[in-house]
Structure 1
């Protein structure tokens, strides 16, 4: 929308939809590898491995200035609230230096436009940015951005230092921004059911005869072939994207 400023000039305003503070019900937690300690009171965050890899590749495209973007996913409910990050968008039209990143008005407008083409259930659940050579921490400006644009306890900040080969997650816990751990979810998430606050692995029945065993071997071979085809398709798509423009476009949505 537009409205005149004090001088009578027209200026553009962009309003992003506020994240709905209601978790999605009936969702099982994905199974992942723990990355760091999660303090008491923190909303647990699950990040798809592909998101961690792709955001790292994005910030590697420029080691002299800070780069960043937003993290996309959903707030879910299964034995407590958790956040699952499945996608990302690079922030364009930002103002950057070697020690700062500013989301400009045009940057937010561009993010809002691209999100309109995504699944309406997907929300901005956090942001990421790089600290090339400066270490992993939240600066005063970072804290200002987080407190003003990502102020929910289920939203997070991923800080990446590609030069020192380090990254870390930060969240609001009891009103304070602190570094927390997270769960890295593999390419093909394995979900677990919840019972008495403990994950219970889903078991398969034992093989009963040679026919079942042969069928199992056949299906396993098919899975390997399908996995190889999937990786080839993703690799080809990435090559095409790289040939058309810089790294940093959003990855394909996970199933």
Structure 2
């Protein structure tokens, strides 16, 4: 899938980092990670985003991903974003599959109808969570 932004609005980001102004409205999260957190890769430098995926969201992504191994699939990631110390934490708590007819072995498109259904499913199942990202597969 290809993605591009056509917005000319400045995002407040420098060198891929979120500025303090972008995240000032977010709630503050305590500095400690959950006891069950597994850290992958090298420690992040200050100011980088930490993404926490809970087991439920990973299982929902896996279940959707293996439902069709012939076409690319995708969906929305739901959760919350928090400020922490000098950085940002995005906690992914759930995933909703995108339903679209515009997919194949080498492409996937989030259509307007797919986003509309994602928003309806989010409101029905996870009204207190925000859309914090998206995912898609490569079979």
Same fold (TM over 0.5): yes
Which is helix-richer, 1 or 2? 1
Residues 3-18 of structure 1 mapped to structure 2, 5 A cutoff = none
Which aligned pairs between 1:59-138 and structure 2 lie closer than 5 A?
59-79=65-85, 80-132=87-139
Secondary structure at the residue paired with 1:110? helix
- TM-score w.r.t. the length of structure 2 is 0.70
The aligned counterpart of 2:53 is 47
| Residue number in structure 1 paired with 2:14 | none
- Cα offset, 1:124, TM superposition: 0.7
**Which runs of no fewer than 5 residues in structure 1 stay unpaired?**
1-19, 133-255
CA distance in 1, matches of 2:135, 2:99: 13
Please identify the structure whose Cα radius of gyration is greater.
1
Aligned residues: 113
Q: Which of 28, 31, 36 is matched with 1:25 structurally? A: 28
The gaps in structure 2 that reach 5 residues or longer are 1-21
For 1:38 and 1:130, the matched residues in 2 are separated by 27
Check conservation: 1:51, 1:86, Cα contact below 8 A.
yes
* Cα RMSD after superposing both structures: 2.2
Q: Secondary structure at the match of 2:39?
A: strand
Shift of 1:78: 3.1
Q: Cα–Cα, structure 1 residues 53 and 38, in superposed 2: closer, same or farther, change >3 Å?
A: farther
What is the TM-score with the length of structure 1 in the denominator? 0.40
User: After TM superposition, where is structure 1 displaced by more than 6 Å over at least 4 residues in a row?
Assistant: none
CA shift in 2, pair 1:38/1:64, >3 Å: farther
